[in-house]
Amino acid sequence: MASVHKEFLVDATPDQVWDVLKDFGAVHERLAPGFVTDTRVDSDTRTVTFANGTVVAERLVDLDPATRRVAYCAVGGDLHPSHHNASMQAVATADGRTRFVWHTDVLPEALAAPIAEFVEHGAPVIRAALEAAATRSPGEPSVIAR
């Protein structure tokens, strides 16, 4: 099995990051706007469309407010893994910021490279969206005007 792991610091509190991260159906609007262009939710499964046209169906495994962690697995779409489990977590740092932890386990191992590429391209978009959300005034729209 291959694993893809990415961590980065976010200039926002863990609660601010969690407010965005827990919104499982709004990835295209709140977590990764532009990198993800659409998210559709049906029951516990979201279908995510990426800017490059890749579509992935992801089933919610866990949404844990105590640890500020969301876990999901790929259950369909364009990549066809035999196994895919991922999690994103907002971890408090000593200075009040957030360490964003994104971890994916995948089979076959050949999918690790394309998933790692998604993570590398998505991480700066996610960081920017989370930091922008943290500076937004209450009631201000979270969607970036296009």
Q: What is the pLDDT along the chain (146 residues), one digit of tens a residue?
A: 899 999 999 999 999 999 999 999 999 999 999 999 999 999 999 999 999 999 999 999 999 999 999 999 999 999 899 999 999 999 999 999 999 999 999 999 999 999 999 999 999 999 999 999 999 655 555 554 33
Domain ranges of the chain: 2-135
Global pTM value: 0.91
CB atoms within 10 A of CB 96: 10
CATH topology of domain 2-135: Alpha-D-Glucose-1,6-Bisphosphate; Chain A, domain 4 (3.30.530)
Report the distance separating Cα 93 and Cα 13, nearest Å: 9
H or E element in which residue 134 lies: helix 112-135
pLDDT at res. 146: 34
d(CA 36, CA 108): 24
Contact 75, 85 (CB under 8 A): no
